[in-house]
Structure 1
Amino acid sequence: EESLQLMLQCDVVVYNISDSLTKEQVEEATGAITAFEAEMDSFSSKKILILVSTVMTCAVTKPRDQVRLRDNSVTVDSNKRGLMERCVYIQEDPDALLTEEEYRRRRPLPIYVVASGLQYGKGEHLLHYFFKMSWLMQLPEVPLFGEGTNYLPMIHVNDLAGVLQNIINLKPRSKYILAVDDSKNTLEEVVKIISETLGTGKLRKVPEYEASTMAAFQAKEWASLSVDLRLESFIIKDSFSLKWTSEDGLINNIESIVEEYRSARQLLPVRIFLFGPPAVGKTTVAEKLCRHYKIHHIKTREVTEEKIAQLVSGITQSTQQQANFAPLVLKKRSTLLSCGGHLPDHDLFEILQEKLNSNPCKNQGFVLDGFPNTYDQAKSIFSDDDALDQDRMFKQPVCNKAIAPEHMIVLEATDDFLTQRVQGLPQSDAEKMLYTQEEFVSRLKTFRQLSASYDSAADYFDELEIHPDNIEERKQRLAEESAERERRKKATLAEMTAQYEQWQRNLAEVKCQEEELMEACALPLRSYLMKTVVPPLSEALLDCSKIKPEDPVDYL
């Protein structure tokens, strides 16, 4: 009743039953329409009721080339019929039927029915499972339930809102409006592009019944994704002035759709650059950060080894191409191994950029472990060439925000501490980590020189206003702040104690002064009593004690 009163106060009411079509929702919408019709005579202004429905009402419609008439009826195959048994059917109400006379005398309520395609955008709904599985990348292949050859009628939620706005403004003659975009994509194509943009790009077809056993979809949700319709909306194209967000569908606008999904679901990557001298413990801290935030650990040696392995395993083309390509790959691999895991800078930059642009790093984020080291290396990896051409007049570097770290953590320690730590390593570990005496001293000296000359990678990020969180300084600052809070607490407590003691002394002094004042005020009265009252009273009391009258008070 309260909802009805609120709706009656509005000139336009939009009733949405497209998200989860249930029998209760249909009955509620029908009741709202009936209540509107009953109140039509009391309306002071025109009312518009828009019912956002779903294309599932057309789900059993066969394509033209497959329609077979038999006894003036359309035959539907058993699979499609079984699917639609899970949908809501509205029983015909005999009381709602109108006679011909009643139909001519009726006052129709302005009601528009919008048959919406499967909605996407702004966080998704039906497609959320595929987005989630692609983003998490917990499985090497995204499950595709069934064959996926069915065509999905779809529309972006912004475009659906635009359709409703046009109905309100234009009030078209047609009361039934189909709201779909121009895409004619199958379920397999949609899931494939989602997996390619967010995940590995691989699919694995599984039987339809596993959609419920894997708790991926409810029955009605999967019924919507199983619909096979290719629809066109002529009214929207011919009559509406619609500013499309995704006119040609999800596949052609997948990048913006993915960004909307990340923003709506707050799936923001955590990108960290970990910096510090050799042997300070960057790798240990990086591993803990990766476990805590569930992000990816980027180490140059592992990244280059992974890339070389991909290049070697990828030589599966023609014999001539293998002969031309294999020496280059083997040369890069031999260079990698002979240089202690370091490729030439231009090759390493390219490999690292490719890794940072990969879907895992773009989805969850990464910890960049100790590389780049210099200002020029950081600039070569993270600078945005297109923006750099436009902003050459500015001295501040322009970075590629898609891969540039948002946080920088600096680990610091003294040279003596680092040297003692390296000396405590076994010889085999020191050689493996390039921490032998000569190598470590050289690396530490180079790091200190870069830091002193303001030519380190930290200086590059500092110019980008990505300021470091220095762990040692933070600990010292926290200790200083804690000591300052303790000092203030003690000072406040001492001040309060002194004030309380002073208050007690003042109170005692006031009480003493009051007593002295009372004694001073009582002296004249005491003198009068002693001279005038006490002598005769004493004599009367003595006589009273001798005579012992029956009424001593009266005798006195």
Structure 2
Amino acid sequence: MAEKIDERPQNSRRVFINNVDAYTSKNIARFLDLCVVGASLVFAGEADVEEEDDRLHDDQAEIKDGTFQIVGTVSSQTEEKCSFIAEQYSHHTKREDLLHHLLKCDVIIYDVTQHADQIDEAQWAVSALYEEMDRFPAAKTFILVSTVLTWAMTKPADKDYPETPLTDSNYRRRKAHPNFHRHISLEKLVVKLGKTKSSRFSTYVVASGLQYGMEEHVFHLFFKMSWMGEVSHVPIFGDGSNIIPTIHINDLAGIIQNVIDHKPKVQYFVAVDDSKNTMEDIIKAITLMLGPGKTRNVSKEEIYLIQNLTQTEIDSLLVNLPIEAPYLKDNFNIQWVSETGMVQNIEQVIEEYKESRGLLPIRMCIVGPPAVGKSTIAEKICKHYNLHHIKLKEAIAEALENLELCVRTEDEENDQDDDQEFWDTLRENMNENGGRLDDQYVIRIMKDKLRTKPCMNQGFVLDGFPKTCEQAKELFTGDGEPEDLESKHATKIIPEFVFSVNATDDFLKNRVLNLPETVVEGTSYMPEQFLQRLARFRDRNVEDEMPLNYFEDLEIHPEHLEITSDNDNEYQLIIDKICKKVGKPRNYGPILEKVEEEKRRQVKERLNEQAAQRVEEERREEEEAQHRDQRWGEWSQHLVEVKRQELDLLESQSEPLRDYLMQDVMPTLTQGLIECCRLRPDDPIDFLAEYLLQNNPEA
């Protein structure tokens, strides 16, 4: 008798999913966690409602309390466990322990679309479960999530009509992409092992199209490139005419739910939507909604220069495979999220992408008197949150430059008549007003600027504008009514945060007076001009007319900040208050490549500094060595000179002595020595002394 492995409510289904912290598995797990066991059986098929009413009532009663309990492996145990994961195991768990976990599950799902290293584990898992089949306390289901790249080299179903799509009924004829032979071998093994005792161990293969939706996966490169706005044209690799089979990640999860609930006799399914979108269709749709709206064709080989793409993702993006999945439509009850494909549902897909990744714009307005430091604060805030700094003069200059470029360039994408008319109107208005523009044109330019894709994606900081309540109404009003603050429409530009920075007039005057003359000359900080600007600002911001009142009416309550000194610490405190009010950034963190590049730059700088220090130390040592050699040479030369001088001195001092010895001593001494040698006395010393005493010339 088989041992009972675990105890759970009768209607609960324990589901194992590998790599549950990866894109595909995570979204499948999240989807199943929200499903009721057997829910896809309700209203399935085309049976008459009256005949099925009793059965459906019984089904609904049966599945009322049924839930999916998700467990799985993760690549890193350090990550916080998701709320929809009941248990998670390390990716490096020993296989005997992993098998124990698998035996406790009713459904085992292995995804091999993202990481090819999971193929060996999936092959082991299905084989090990097959061997333990007779010990199962209840039937188990094994589902392999594979890829349509195992169809990539399949010949057309109809030679006379090569454009006719393939269907999942042709799966025995499928030919894999050269890099996906291991995938197709695994598919065949899974199907084979499920044929022996399908009532005990049923196996299925779901060949998934390229997945999209939520935070995005294989198409994330184009989403991020468009959202960041760092390129003027998003690349299309090759001519872009290759048909890419796709499926929304939640639709893929819905298909897996149907497989679990229905337990169909067919073991192989193709999971694709109804679209026949090409690479060009998809990329153009993404960049039109999210980015610059412009693309350019580049050679296929350039895709290999993209560091963030794996070989699997490259092969997937370059596939050309028209394929359909009629079995899903005829036999499953799928609540489609994107049945017609990514291009047809691009707005919804874009919103999912932004929400899943938390890519929400931060819209901010900073107002205050001249010289209070608005631009300094705005620049630091923009750098911290990666926002766009919008200054009135720069926006007007940019608009005029772009209009001039448009009217001079023959571009079919631009409406030159409208551009020419607006350009002429602006020039005429500036000539009439001494180089200034009327408010209606300023408002139009600023509104167009705030509605650009970069500002709509990342957000902006309005620096010192609007200046009046009337300007605020005109800038943030559409069709006579304020824009709905809860609306997610792309033209939403009303600031979420408003900060009023203020200071006393005396402080502002002293600050301007203390500015260097080189900074003040030729600017609006000239004393007379500044005083006029300050007076105009105070006049405009009386109690009933200040622009802050407009935001108060919209229940956007401004934060008031006071500047009392030029100390940098006070500005930092102001910025800290703003960051605390706004919260965390809502965009991409530092890009890994940029972080690594910054690290490399810092390492290079340290190495250069160390090298420079070594060179400087070597230079100093060489100079010291030269100085030592020079000093040693000078000392040696001086020593030789001293010795020569000493010898000369001794020579000069010894000359009288030599003369004395030669004249007075040596003759007598010589005679005494001769006599001593001739006589050979017993005591020669005494003899010589006596001889010298007797023969002393002075004696």
Counterpart CA distance in 2 for 1:103 and 1:337 is 85
| 1:361 corresponding residue in structure 2 | 455
| 1:402 corresponding residue in structure 2 | 492
Q: Give the alignment of 1:50-449 within 5 angstroms.
A: 50-64=143-157, 84-89=177-182, 109-315=201-407, 316=410, 326=420, 328-336=422-430, 339=433, 342-383=436-477, 402-423=492-513, 433-435=523-525, 439-449=529-539
1:469-521, Cα deviation, whole Å (9 max, x unpaired) = 51438959979xxxxxxxxxxxxxxxxxxxxxxxxxxxxxxxxxxxxxxxxxx
Counterpart CA distance in 1 for 2:190 and 2:273 is 35
Q: Which has the higher contact order (CA 8 A, sep 6+)?
A: 1
Q: Specify whether residues 294 and 203 from structure 1 end up closer, same or farther in structure 2 by C-alpha distance, changes over 3 A only.
A: same
Counterpart CA distance in 2 for 1:427 and 1:279 is 15
CA contact (8 A) 2:147 2:207 kept: yes
Is the deviation greater in 449-458 or in 336-345?
A: 336-345
Q: Could you say what secondary structure the match of 1:411 adopts? A: strand
| 2:101 corresponding residue in structure 1 | 6
1:421-457, Cα deviation, whole Å (9 max, x unpaired) = 4456689976864455665444323422443314322
1:465 is the counterpart of 2:530? no
1:138-179, Cα deviation, whole Å (9 max, x unpaired) = 232223332222111001111111111122223333221211
Counterpart CA distance in 1 for 2:487 and 2:139 is 59
Give the deviation of 1:338 after TM superposition.
5.0
Counterpart CA distance in 2 for 1:221 and 1:477 is 45
Give the deviation of 1:372 after TM superposition.
0.6
Q: Specify whether residues 431 and 337 from structure 1 end up closer, same or farther in structure 2 by C-alpha distance, changes over 3 A only.
A: farther
> Please, which runs of 5 or more residues in structure 2 have no aligned partner?
1-95, 163-174, 575-699
Counterpart CA distance in 1 for 2:205 and 2:156 is 23
> How many residue pairs were aligned?
457
| 1:32 corresponding residue in structure 2 | 125
Question: TM-score, normalization: structure 1?
Answer: 0.71
The amino acid that maps onto 2:254 is: G
Counterpart CA distance in 1 for 2:176 and 2:300 is 11
Q: Could you say what secondary structure the match of 2:437 adopts? A: coil
Counterpart CA distance in 2 for 1:113 and 1:426 is 75
| 1:44 corresponding residue in structure 2 | 137
Mark the structure with the bigger radius of gyration. Answer: 2
CA contact (8 A) 1:384 1:398 kept: no
Q: Could you say what secondary structure the match of 2:502 adopts? A: coil
1:15 is the counterpart of 2:106? no
Q: Specify whether residues 110 and 302 from structure 1 end up closer, same or farther in structure 2 by C-alpha distance, changes over 3 A only.
A: same
Q: Could you say what secondary structure the match of 1:211 adopts? A: helix
Counterpart CA distance in 2 for 1:281 and 1:15 is 58
Give the deviation of 1:200 after TM superposition.
1.6
CA contact (8 A) 2:456 2:490 kept: no
Counterpart CA distance in 1 for 2:572 and 2:232 is 45
> Please, which runs of 5 or more residues in structure 1 have no aligned partner?
70-81, 480-556
CA contact (8 A) 2:99 2:125 kept: yes
Counterpart CA distance in 1 for 2:549 and 2:288 is 36
Is the deviation greater in 171-180 or in 401-410?
A: 401-410
Q: Give the alignment of 1:480-499 within 5 angstroms.
A: none
CA contact (8 A) 2:216 2:353 kept: yes
Counterpart CA distance in 2 for 1:123 and 1:246 is 15
Q: Specify whether residues 280 and 357 from structure 1 end up closer, same or farther in structure 2 by C-alpha distance, changes over 3 A only.
A: same
Q: Give the alignment of 1:470-549 within 5 angstroms.
A: 470-472=561-563
The amino acid that maps onto 2:400 is: I
Is the deviation greater in 303-312 or in 423-432?
A: 423-432
Q: Specify whether residues 336 and 369 from structure 1 end up closer, same or farther in structure 2 by C-alpha distance, changes over 3 A only.
A: farther
Question: TM-score, normalization: structure 2?
Answer: 0.58
RMSD: 4.1
Is the deviation greater in 197-206 or in 349-358?
A: 197-206
The amino acid that maps onto 1:332 is: L
1:403-434, Cα deviation, whole Å (9 max, x unpaired) = 22222232212112323444566899768644
Q: Specify whether residues 397 and 222 from structure 1 end up closer, same or farther in structure 2 by C-alpha distance, changes over 3 A only.
A: closer
Q: Could you say what secondary structure the match of 2:235 adopts? A: strand
Q: Could you say what secondary structure the match of 2:430 adopts? A: helix
1:82-126, Cα deviation, whole Å (9 max, x unpaired) = 993333436979x98999xx9888867321211111001121111
